[in-house]
Amino acid sequence: MASPYSDGGREKVASKLPVALRQELKTRSAQLGIDMQDAVTEAVEQWRARPVGENPSVDTAGAESWNTWLPAGLYDDFKFDCTRRDISFVQGLAQAVRVWVDSHAASLNELTIPQYTRRIVVCNQKGGVGKTTVAAGLGQAIALGLPATTGGSKLPALPGRRTLLVDYDPQGHLTSQLGVKQVPPGNESLVTHMVERDRVVGTLLEQVVPISPDHFDGRLFLLPSSFDAFLLDSRLGSVRGPREASLQRALAPLEEHFDIIVIDAPPNLGLAMDAGLYYGHRRKNEAIGASGVLIPVEAEDSSADAYAMLDSQIRTVSLDYEVEIDRLGLVVNKFDKRKGYVATSSLDNWQSLGSPPVVAVVPDLKHQREAVHVKQPLLMYAPTSTQAQRMREIRRRLG
């Protein structure tokens, strides 16, 4: 089944693909630096060019739902070829991917490229510290990329990456700020894919919303919040299987479509936050510091108390589930030195921690509030503002 792609040049194709083959496709395209959509397009065209009988049959038993995008018109041509060759579309797509993977071997030098989608969980146990501001701004900076710097400090360019912002907070501030509606109660959402896996009908990718595709070159997307998330902690108590992995299970099918996933987490000490922290843990053979938690704080005493609670929860999740959760850094947000000694001494205390490091100090200025008021991304509304520059600084520091 195909539906129009957001830019009109591609069609979204809903099909099925064996999980192992899908992982091979994701890994190989990442190793070669090829967008997965382009890899699948190459695969289909390569399959169509081969004589009948030269494409190997693939065992598609247990294949799971999978979406991709093909150039407009290619889906119909491919489907016609499958019918002509007397095979199902699922089998044809599996054959095409199999042939492409086998014919695009990665060299030993290319095998060092990470095979995991990076995951950044923006969190703190204190509300109002600017988790949403930091998550949104960082996601925008990642999607846009950074130019190379010149002068005394030469730094390489960072290309824009396909970025998914996940509003994991039931308050839905990130969703609202970007001008998107929250998912109504009872509708399919991230929550239902976490706690009602046996009942969901569609794919979570269908809930993803593009954000200002013209400005962000079609690389910034949002998974909106759901009102049902207010009850997530209690509902996780009845989940079968490891509850801490519920968010990871729900988001796993999305990872192949994005380079980086940024989670706007709620101020929560319960099971939902355990699942959020677990999602950011370092996976097998993943580079240290590629994924983990980014912690916004304020330069005042209560923020330090909240950080201590979060630090304790991170340690508990790490020990209970035997995983490593990297602390990527602190962002001192809404800093205003006019508040005097309390603000400046608190900033000194944050910077003296050393680990995790302070990756940026974001001033308390009007531009973010204005962007929220007009429901526009900060880096679109005020791209040259100091706050926007600090978001790019965080992007640069995280690599």
pLDDT of the residue at 273: 92
CB contact set of 20 (below 8 Å; sequence gap of 6+): none
Q: Does the pLDDT value for residue 61 go beyond 60? A: yes
pLDDT of the residue at 248: 93
* Consecutive H or E run containing 15: strand 10-17
* CA distance from start to end of the chain: 38
Residues 123 and 234 in one domain: yes
Highest mean pLDDT among 46-55, 66-75, 308-317, 336-345 belongs to: 308-317
pLDDT of the residue at 169: 92
pLDDT of the residue at 111: 44
- Final residue of a structural domain among 69, 86, 111: 111
pLDDT of the residue at 280: 96
66 forms bridges with which residues in the sheet? 15
Q: Does the pLDDT value for residue 251 go beyond 90? A: yes
- Please state whether the peptide bond connecting residue 363 to the residue before it is cis, i.e. omega within 30 degrees of 0: no
- Final residue of a structural domain among 111, 145, 164: 111
Residues 128 and 221 in one domain: yes
Residues 160 and 302 in one domain: yes
Residues 70 and 200 in one domain: no
Q: 292-297 and 118-122: which strand pairing?
A: parallel
Band (110; pLDDT cuts 50, 70, 90): very low
- CA distance linking residue 259 with residue 240, whole number of Å: 29
- The pTM for the full model equals 0.74
Residues 97 and 177 in one domain: no
Lowest mean pLDDT among 95-109, 215-229, 303-317: 95-109
Instruction: Give mean pLDDT, residues 45-61.
Output: 87
Question: How confident is the prediction for the chain on average, in pLDDT?
Answer: 86
174 vs 305, higher pLDDT: 174
Residues 197 and 302 in one domain: yes
- Final residue of a structural domain among 43, 76, 111: 111
> Can you give the CATH number for the domain in which 372 is found?
3.40.50.300
Domain residues for the domain of 277 are 118-398
106 vs 371, higher pLDDT: 371
In this structure, what token pair is assigned to residue 36? 């997965």
Residues 98 and 123 in one domain: no
Amino acid found at 39 = A
Residues 367 and 299 in one domain: yes
Residues 103 and 205 in one domain: no
Residues 200 and 319 in one domain: yes
Lowest mean pLDDT among 314-318, 364-368, 392-396: 364-368
Give the total number of structural domains in the chain. 2
